[in-house]
Structure 1
Amino acid sequence: MINIRFSPIASTTLEPLKSLSVKGYAITLNGEVFDFTELQPGYQLEQVDIKSDWFVDRAVMSFEGVLSVAILMPYDETVATDAIRFPESVTVTAAGPVEIPTDHPAQPPVTPTVEDNHGLLSEQENLH
Protein backbone atom coordinates (compact mmCIF):
# COMPACT_ATOMS: atom_id res chain seq x y z
CA MET A 1 0.00 0.00 0.00
CA ILE A 2 1.21 3.49 -0.83
CA ASN A 3 -0.04 6.81 0.54
CA ILE A 4 0.55 9.63 -1.94
CA ARG A 5 0.29 13.24 -0.87
CA PHE A 6 0.34 15.78 -3.69
CA SER A 7 2.28 19.01 -3.19
CA PRO A 8 0.78 21.56 -5.61
CA ILE A 9 2.82 24.46 -6.97
CA ALA A 10 1.61 27.08 -9.45
CA SER A 11 4.10 27.08 -12.32
CA THR A 12 4.08 27.36 -16.07
CA THR A 13 7.80 26.52 -16.35
CA LEU A 14 7.96 23.18 -14.49
CA GLU A 15 7.07 20.00 -16.33
CA PRO A 16 3.51 18.99 -15.41
CA LEU A 17 2.79 15.65 -13.77
CA LYS A 18 1.26 13.85 -16.75
CA SER A 19 1.27 10.23 -15.62
CA LEU A 20 1.50 8.40 -12.33
CA SER A 21 1.30 4.67 -11.76
CA VAL A 22 2.20 2.18 -9.05
CA LYS A 23 3.35 -1.43 -9.08
CA GLY A 24 4.28 -2.83 -5.69
CA TYR A 25 6.53 -0.20 -4.11
CA ALA A 26 7.62 1.18 -7.51
CA ILE A 27 6.20 4.56 -8.49
CA THR A 28 6.37 5.68 -12.11
CA LEU A 29 6.17 9.45 -12.70
CA ASN A 30 6.04 10.67 -16.31
CA GLY A 31 7.70 7.42 -17.39
CA GLU A 32 10.52 7.50 -14.79
CA VAL A 33 10.50 4.63 -12.28
CA PHE A 34 11.35 5.09 -8.60
CA ASP A 35 11.56 1.76 -6.78
CA PHE A 36 11.23 1.84 -2.99
CA THR A 37 11.14 -1.96 -2.60
CA GLU A 38 14.40 -1.99 -0.61
CA LEU A 39 13.08 0.48 1.99
CA GLN A 40 12.61 -1.60 5.13
CA PRO A 41 9.65 -1.19 7.55
CA GLY A 42 10.30 1.57 10.08
CA TYR A 43 12.87 3.31 7.87
CA GLN A 44 12.83 6.44 5.73
CA LEU A 45 14.70 7.69 2.71
CA GLU A 46 15.53 11.39 2.74
CA GLN A 47 14.39 13.48 -0.23
CA VAL A 48 17.98 14.23 -1.31
CA ASP A 49 18.70 10.48 -1.42
CA ILE A 50 15.75 9.87 -3.76
CA LYS A 51 17.58 12.07 -6.28
CA SER A 52 14.50 13.49 -7.93
CA ASP A 53 12.76 16.86 -7.77
CA TRP A 54 9.41 15.04 -8.05
CA PHE A 55 9.60 14.08 -4.37
CA VAL A 56 9.29 17.00 -1.97
CA ASP A 57 9.75 15.13 1.30
CA ARG A 58 11.27 11.89 2.55
CA ALA A 59 9.78 8.51 1.70
CA VAL A 60 8.66 6.69 4.84
CA MET A 61 7.91 2.99 5.20
CA SER A 62 5.72 2.31 8.22
CA PHE A 63 6.14 -0.78 10.40
CA GLU A 64 2.93 -2.06 8.75
CA GLY A 65 4.54 -1.83 5.29
CA VAL A 66 2.76 1.33 4.09
CA LEU A 67 4.96 3.61 1.96
CA SER A 68 4.21 7.34 2.28
CA VAL A 69 5.52 9.88 -0.25
CA ALA A 70 4.87 13.50 -1.22
CA ILE A 71 4.96 14.24 -4.95
CA LEU A 72 5.35 17.67 -6.55
CA MET A 73 2.36 18.62 -8.68
CA PRO A 74 2.97 21.71 -10.88
CA TYR A 75 -0.22 23.29 -12.22
CA ASP A 76 -1.32 26.20 -14.38
CA GLU A 77 -3.02 28.79 -12.18
CA THR A 78 -5.25 30.00 -15.02
CA VAL A 79 -7.17 26.69 -15.21
CA ALA A 80 -6.79 25.37 -11.66
CA THR A 81 -9.77 24.35 -9.57
CA ASP A 82 -9.76 23.96 -5.79
CA ALA A 83 -9.31 20.22 -6.37
CA ILE A 84 -5.99 21.03 -8.05
CA ARG A 85 -4.90 23.73 -5.59
CA PHE A 86 -5.84 21.62 -2.55
CA PRO A 87 -5.61 17.99 -3.70
CA GLU A 88 -6.70 15.09 -1.54
CA SER A 89 -4.15 12.45 -0.58
CA VAL A 90 -4.49 9.10 -2.35
CA THR A 91 -4.11 5.63 -0.87
CA VAL A 92 -3.11 3.14 -3.56
CA THR A 93 -3.92 -0.51 -2.82
CA ALA A 94 -3.60 -2.04 -6.32
CA ALA A 95 -1.15 -1.81 -9.19
CA GLY A 96 -2.02 0.50 -12.05
CA PRO A 97 -2.47 4.16 -12.97
CA VAL A 98 -3.25 6.72 -10.28
CA GLU A 99 -5.61 9.59 -11.01
CA ILE A 100 -3.87 12.98 -10.95
CA PRO A 101 -5.96 15.97 -9.79
CA THR A 102 -4.69 18.04 -12.75
CA ASP A 103 -6.84 15.92 -15.08
CA HIS A 104 -9.83 18.13 -14.21
CA PRO A 105 -9.18 21.73 -15.34
CA ALA A 106 -11.62 24.47 -14.50
CA GLN A 107 -13.91 25.81 -17.17
CA PRO A 108 -12.90 29.24 -18.53
CA PRO A 109 -14.68 32.14 -16.84
CA VAL A 110 -17.95 33.21 -18.43
CA THR A 111 -17.85 36.70 -19.93
CA PRO A 112 -21.15 38.48 -19.39
CA THR A 113 -22.86 39.69 -22.55
CA VAL A 114 -24.30 43.16 -22.98
CA GLU A 115 -27.82 43.30 -24.30
CA ASP A 116 -28.36 45.56 -27.30
CA ASN A 117 -31.82 46.75 -26.29
CA HIS A 118 -32.29 47.82 -22.70
CA GLY A 119 -35.84 48.92 -23.34
CA LEU A 120 -35.02 52.62 -23.14
CA LEU A 121 -35.28 53.31 -26.86
CA SER A 122 -38.57 51.51 -27.26
CA GLU A 123 -40.05 53.47 -24.33
CA GLN A 124 -38.87 56.77 -25.85
CA GLU A 125 -40.34 55.81 -29.25
CA ASN A 126 -43.69 55.23 -27.60
CA LEU A 127 -43.63 58.72 -26.06
CA HIS A 128 -43.54 60.47 -29.45
Structure 2
Amino acid sequence: MVQIQASVQINAPIDKVWNIISDLDSEPKFWRGTKEVKNISKDGNTITREVTIAFKDSKCMQTVTMYPKEKIQIQFTKGVIEGTKTLSLSEQDNKTRLDVLWDMKLTGMMGMFTGMIKKHIQSGTEQALESIKQEAQS
Protein backbone atom coordinates (compact mmCIF):
# COMPACT_ATOMS: atom_id res chain seq x y z
CA MET A 1 0.00 0.00 0.00
CA VAL A 2 1.13 3.53 -0.78
CA GLN A 3 0.26 6.49 1.41
CA ILE A 4 -0.23 9.93 -0.09
CA GLN A 5 -0.84 12.93 2.14
CA ALA A 6 -1.68 16.56 1.47
CA SER A 7 -3.27 19.38 3.44
CA VAL A 8 -4.31 22.99 3.07
CA GLN A 9 -5.24 25.84 5.41
CA ILE A 10 -8.42 27.59 4.27
CA ASN A 11 -9.54 31.05 5.42
CA ALA A 12 -13.17 30.01 5.75
CA PRO A 13 -15.36 28.46 8.45
CA ILE A 14 -15.66 24.68 8.64
CA ASP A 15 -19.35 24.83 7.57
CA LYS A 16 -18.46 26.37 4.22
CA VAL A 17 -15.65 23.88 3.52
CA TRP A 18 -17.89 20.96 4.56
CA ASN A 19 -20.64 22.13 2.18
CA ILE A 20 -18.14 21.99 -0.70
CA ILE A 21 -16.50 18.63 0.04
CA SER A 22 -19.74 16.89 1.07
CA ASP A 23 -21.37 17.72 -2.29
CA LEU A 24 -20.20 14.41 -3.73
CA ASP A 25 -21.75 15.05 -7.15
CA SER A 26 -19.40 18.00 -7.68
CA GLU A 27 -16.28 15.93 -7.03
CA PRO A 28 -15.18 15.96 -10.72
CA LYS A 29 -15.12 19.79 -10.56
CA PHE A 30 -12.26 19.67 -8.02
CA TRP A 31 -10.61 16.28 -8.52
CA ARG A 32 -9.25 16.05 -12.07
CA GLY A 33 -8.74 12.30 -11.69
CA THR A 34 -12.48 11.82 -11.20
CA LYS A 35 -14.33 12.04 -14.50
CA GLU A 36 -17.84 10.95 -13.51
CA VAL A 37 -19.78 10.01 -10.38
CA LYS A 38 -22.90 7.85 -10.37
CA ASN A 39 -24.61 7.36 -7.01
CA ILE A 40 -26.20 3.92 -6.72
CA SER A 41 -27.67 3.88 -3.22
CA LYS A 42 -27.76 5.82 0.04
CA ASP A 43 -28.32 4.45 3.52
CA GLY A 44 -28.05 7.15 6.18
CA ASN A 45 -24.54 8.60 5.95
CA THR A 46 -23.28 5.83 3.64
CA ILE A 47 -23.37 6.14 -0.14
CA THR A 48 -22.50 3.42 -2.66
CA ARG A 49 -21.37 4.81 -6.00
CA GLU A 50 -19.59 4.08 -9.25
CA VAL A 51 -16.82 6.46 -10.20
CA THR A 52 -15.10 6.74 -13.56
CA ILE A 53 -11.48 7.78 -13.07
CA ALA A 54 -9.17 9.38 -15.60
CA PHE A 55 -6.80 6.40 -15.56
CA LYS A 56 -7.92 4.62 -18.76
CA ASP A 57 -11.54 5.63 -17.99
CA SER A 58 -11.60 2.85 -15.39
CA LYS A 59 -14.70 2.34 -13.29
CA CYS A 60 -14.36 1.89 -9.54
CA MET A 61 -16.97 1.04 -6.96
CA GLN A 62 -16.81 3.04 -3.74
CA THR A 63 -18.51 3.11 -0.37
CA VAL A 64 -18.50 6.67 0.99
CA THR A 65 -19.17 7.28 4.68
CA MET A 66 -19.89 10.84 5.79
CA TYR A 67 -19.05 12.07 9.28
CA PRO A 68 -20.58 15.58 9.16
CA LYS A 69 -18.09 18.44 9.56
CA GLU A 70 -15.42 15.92 10.57
CA LYS A 71 -14.40 13.60 7.73
CA ILE A 72 -15.37 11.71 4.60
CA GLN A 73 -14.08 8.14 4.27
CA ILE A 74 -14.02 6.70 0.75
CA GLN A 75 -13.43 2.96 0.48
CA PHE A 76 -12.56 1.61 -2.98
CA THR A 77 -14.42 -1.72 -3.10
CA LYS A 78 -13.94 -2.80 -6.73
CA GLY A 79 -11.78 -1.66 -9.66
CA VAL A 80 -8.14 -0.80 -10.39
CA ILE A 81 -7.67 1.02 -7.06
CA GLU A 82 -7.79 -0.79 -3.75
CA GLY A 83 -7.78 1.08 -0.43
CA THR A 84 -9.11 4.32 1.02
CA LYS A 85 -9.14 8.09 0.57
CA THR A 86 -10.00 10.10 3.69
CA LEU A 87 -10.75 13.83 3.81
CA SER A 88 -10.55 15.26 7.34
CA LEU A 89 -11.52 18.69 8.62
CA SER A 90 -10.38 20.61 11.69
CA GLU A 91 -11.14 24.20 12.66
CA GLN A 92 -9.02 26.77 14.45
CA ASP A 93 -9.65 30.51 14.74
CA ASN A 94 -12.38 30.47 12.05
CA LYS A 95 -9.96 28.82 9.62
CA THR A 96 -10.27 25.26 8.40
CA ARG A 97 -7.57 22.72 7.80
CA LEU A 98 -8.40 20.09 5.18
CA ASP A 99 -6.25 16.95 5.17
CA VAL A 100 -6.36 14.17 2.61
CA LEU A 101 -4.84 10.75 3.18
CA TRP A 102 -4.77 8.05 0.52
CA ASP A 103 -3.87 4.51 1.58
CA MET A 104 -4.06 2.66 -1.72
CA LYS A 105 -2.54 0.45 -4.34
CA LEU A 106 -3.38 -0.49 -7.91
CA THR A 107 -4.73 -3.99 -8.33
CA GLY A 108 -3.65 -6.89 -10.53
CA MET A 109 -1.12 -6.21 -13.27
CA MET A 110 -1.55 -2.48 -12.70
CA GLY A 111 0.20 -2.89 -9.33
CA MET A 112 3.58 -2.39 -11.01
CA PHE A 113 2.56 1.16 -11.92
CA THR A 114 1.59 2.21 -8.37
CA GLY A 115 4.81 4.24 -7.90
CA MET A 116 4.36 6.11 -11.17
CA ILE A 117 0.66 6.75 -10.55
CA LYS A 118 1.46 7.95 -7.00
CA LYS A 119 2.98 11.15 -8.43
CA HIS A 120 -0.18 11.82 -10.46
CA ILE A 121 -2.43 11.24 -7.45
CA GLN A 122 -0.23 13.45 -5.23
CA SER A 123 -0.30 16.28 -7.76
CA GLY A 124 -4.05 15.83 -8.41
CA THR A 125 -4.75 15.89 -4.68
CA GLU A 126 -2.73 19.10 -4.17
CA GLN A 127 -4.54 20.71 -7.11
CA ALA A 128 -7.94 19.61 -5.73
CA LEU A 129 -7.15 21.11 -2.32
CA GLU A 130 -6.15 24.39 -3.94
CA SER A 131 -9.40 24.46 -5.96
CA ILE A 132 -11.48 23.71 -2.85
CA LYS A 133 -9.62 26.47 -1.00
CA GLN A 134 -10.32 29.01 -3.76
CA GLU A 135 -13.99 28.06 -3.85
CA ALA A 136 -14.35 28.30 -0.04
CA GLN A 137 -12.58 31.66 0.16
CA SER A 138 -14.55 33.29 -2.65
TM more than 0.5? no
Larger helix proportion of the pair: 2
Larger strand proportion of the pair: 2
Q: TM-score, normalised by structure 1?
A: 0.31
Q: TM-score, normalised by structure 2?
A: 0.29
Q: If you compute each CA radius of gyration, which structure gives the higher value, 1 or 2? A: 1
